Amino acid sequence: MKGRDWPQLLIKPVNYAAVASRVLDGFSDLQLRRLTMLYCQRLEDATAEVACAVAFSLYAKTVISKLEYEQITGADGDKASQLLLKTVLSKEDAKAARAMWQSFTDFRENNAFLKVKRILQEIDDKGDSLHKEINWAPDEVIQDCLVAIHRQHQAILKERNATLALTSFHGWTLEKTFPLDKHFTELLIIPSLRYQEQVQHELLARGREHVEWRKQTLRRELEKVRHHEIFGTSFGKCTRCLYAVISGVAGIGKTTLVQKIVHDWAVGKIYGQFHFLFQFKFRELNIYQDRTSLKQIILDSYPYLEKDLKKVLANTNRILLIFDGLDEFREPIIFPDIQAKSPNSQSKGASHLYPESWCSIPDIIRALFQGQMLPDCSVLVTTRPTALESLQMAPVHLYAEILGFSDAQIKDYFLKFNSDTKVSLEMLTYVEDNAILYTMCYNPSYCWVICSSLEATFTSPRVRDWSPPKTITQLYANYIHNILKNHSREAEEPRQLLLKTGEMAYMGVAEKVIVFGDHHFHRYGLQPSNFLSGFLMQILQKENSLKDVVYSFFHLTVQEFLAALAKFFQTPTPKLSQLLDETSTSRDGRYEIFLQFMAGLSCPATTAQLKDLIGEVPQGNVCKVVDWIKERFESAQGHKIQLLNTLHYLFEAQNKALVQETMGQVRQVDFSFQVMSPVDCYVLAVVLGPCQQLQNLHLFNCSIESWGMKSLKSVLHKCVTVRLWMVNLTDGCVEDLASALSTNVSIRDLNLRDNAFTDHSVPTFLHLVENCSGLLTIDLCNNPFSGVGCQKLKLFEEKLRRTRHGLKIKV
């Protein structure tokens, strides 16, 4: 995977004792209390696993009572750390707080205090500016002359953002409306400085990274940022965070997060330091082709502020501006390199701009970030990671990335989606048993597609006759089928309408267009009025921008599926090979999922449900796609990313003969150093099914963990050499591993070094070695066995070597 990283927040050498001394000696009791409150939420997360140790230290210093100590130690995990901070902050003096900060340095060598170390490092970096941060008063009273307009503004934003509208296929219901505060599911957000070039489709590249980052977060190695912690908290690298950027792949929830922020501000839950909040969408700002002004774009969205706007903008440090969807803006926003040197300083000679100043939208964004317009106002920008490069030189104080849902949040989403808990749990159970679908659920938009597709089935009496989707192509074919089935009577020619829409969608994929106007519709013989009915309201979402009406597919992957559908059904067979070759040579990854869909549409079972609605599948194109996959498989040898993508094509095609022809003679699989998601492992296991024997399976440093092991256990029984070195296997995987190898009479070499097996796995390993009579070497070096565990393994080796010469158990 190509790409490059921005600087990461790493633990550098810090004199923690000196930091603690500065905190303890340099702050008054009131300041120390404010400091603790500022970091309170982060300290709760950071001390979740060590709260009992800290509590004992405080009890030993007699700053908390025995009862308080017992209450803390009697609680579990997060509750214990919450109770610890609550107890410390409940004291009238600062003795408990001082003792707590001192204990952090006492435990500095403990790896469980990694997050606390990061906080101490941050305090060290901020130095004297931290005094300004904790003394900044966020609750300044609003001016009397602005109270009325402030309340009106909040009321309007509350009304605009109060509900989430989600469409449904069940029956003839076109839309479900949920109260935002009840349906919103918290997202997993981490402070991040990553930038990734799009060399693969985000579903593939970011999906694999998401797996690893989510694991680190759940293991408490990465901190989490909540939606109310972006401004006015300890996150960020400056005295007070003014400029923040939140990135996330398409459909991950950036716009919904913005809606939640705006709504919660409007009802007075968060960010009381801001008296006025203004929200804009970059896709709407595209209409300003000539120069405009910040004042004008505010009034275009909030015309009721015209009389009071000058007074509103006078208190710049009480204003929050949110710009959503930088990746949808057609113009680049380039920052001069000098700005990267100092986040808090303006470049010398920079001209000051006023809200009334006429300039381009990029100039307005630049001026806001550089403090040349509305100095001291706060700005939040959201974007997909692929558009982050334009902000690389911007003086951004906080970067954060949305990872999507955790396992618990996926369950929460399913339970909220349908009012019938039984139906929700049935859908969730089905998805949990399908590695493809469940892994997609980290993304809220994919989760929505899955829930929408399954809901109609699990609430229908015909559910027993339905073949559930196994692949991504089948999922989206089912999604489109449900739309067409329920709304085909509303269009005279649903097939032509769908395929024309698909041609427009392909143009968007090819030219990176995700927002469509009337001129796009007319180019493909479409009328925007066609989309006022329910037929395609669930494919395209209509949005009234400031001066025009625009449309977009509710998710990029829907656009890609329709593009593939149109090209598969309408491209003449002689020209299909050229289309596949041209799209597969793109280096920026824009066609990766499109090609998966093209492969998947060659499967008769996938297209069968669309047959009655859009006609017969062109068999010549089916054969062309199959031949192309064969050629792709041959050319991908030696190129791990290309080969892995080709295995996904094989899986989507669901063609047993094709898999047998391509994979049947494979004797070695090597994806070492390639991060593999649970979906990758699942696909690999399926396509390796026809292999009779694998000489070598090398997955060194692939981070497969327990999910991957559950999938790969189906092929381990046919391997001679297995190298699962440094792949994050734990005791929870050892039973699956032993079970898979128990019938393997051919295995000779098993490498499991640098994993996380402990003494709990030793009996299972002894049983495994005894049963695998052909096994000569098992490498368990650098696993955290105790001396007793190592001794048991070596004694067993000596015992078996009497009858099995050459056996080596390496520990």
The mean-pLDDT minimum among 67-76, 701-710, 714-723 falls in 701-710
**80-114 burial string, b = 16+ CB within 10 Å, else e?**
bbbbbbebbeeeeebbbbbbbbbbbbbbbeeeebe
- N-term to C-term CA, the chain: 34
In a domain, 421, yes or no: no
- Token representation of residue 694: 């694998």
Q: Which residue reads 């292999």 in tokens?
A: 691
135, 157, 192 - which closes a domain: 135
In a domain, 547, yes or no: no
Residue type, 569: F
CATH no. for residue 176?
Answer: 3.40.50.300
In a domain, 646, yes or no: no
62 and 174 belong to one structural domain: no
189 and 121 belong to one structural domain: no
pLDDT digits (tens, 9 = 90+) for 636-666: 988 998 999 999 999 999 999 999 999 988 9
- The pLDDT mean for the chain works out to 83
In a domain, 713, yes or no: yes
64 and 202 belong to one structural domain: no
The mean-pLDDT minimum among 253-267, 288-302, 344-358, 784-798 falls in 344-358
29 and 66 belong to one structural domain: yes
The mean-pLDDT minimum among 40-54, 197-211, 577-591, 616-630 falls in 197-211
Report the candidate in 226, 164, 185 with the shortest Cα–Cα distance to residue 412: 185
135, 170, 205 - which closes a domain: 135
**Total Cβ atoms within 10 A of residue 556:** 23
CA 770 to chain CA mean position, Å: 43
261 and 400 belong to one structural domain: yes
In a domain, 120, yes or no: yes
71 and 220 belong to one structural domain: no
**Total Cβ atoms within 10 A of residue 138:** 12
CB distance 724 to 755 below 8 Å: yes
Identify the helix (H) or strand (E) that includes residue 455: helix 444-458
> Cα(199)–Cα(282) distance, rounded to whole angstroms?
24
127 and 218 belong to one structural domain: no
> Cα(389)–Cα(383) distance, rounded to whole angstroms?
11
CB distance 68 to 77 below 8 Å: no
Q: What's this model's pTM, rounded to 2 decimal places?
A: 0.75
CATH no. for residue 84?
Answer: 1.10.533
CB-based burial label for 443 (10 Å; 0-12, 13-18, 19+): buried
CATH no. for residue 785?
Answer: 3.80.10.10
Q: Which domain holds residue 24?
A: 16-135
Provide the pairing of β-strand 540-544 with 549-553.
antiparallel
Residue type, 290: D
167 and 313 belong to one structural domain: yes
124 and 201 belong to one structural domain: no
Report the candidate in 21, 12, 215 with the shortest Cα–Cα distance to residue 125: 12
44 and 170 belong to one structural domain: no
CB distance 519 to 557 below 8 Å: no
Q: What is the pLDDT of residue 18?
A: 65
Q: Where are the alpha helices (DSSP H) in 742-786?
A: 762-771
CB distance 702 to 672 below 8 Å: yes
Q: Where are the alpha helices (DSSP H) in 184-339?
A: 202-218, 254-266, 282-285, 294-301, 309-312
pLDDT band at 703 (very low <50, low <70, confident <90, very high): confident
In a domain, 536, yes or no: no
187 and 245 belong to one structural domain: yes
79, 102, 135 - which closes a domain: 135
R_g over Cα of the chain = 29
**569-589 burial string, b = 16+ CB within 10 Å, else e?**
bebeeeebeebbeebbeeeeb
- How many domains does the chain fold into? 3
pLDDT digits (tens, 9 = 90+) for 575-625: 999 999 999 988 878 898 999 999 999 999 999 888 877 888 999 999 999
Q: Which residue reads 């949040």 in tokens?
A: 409
227 and 128 belong to one structural domain: no
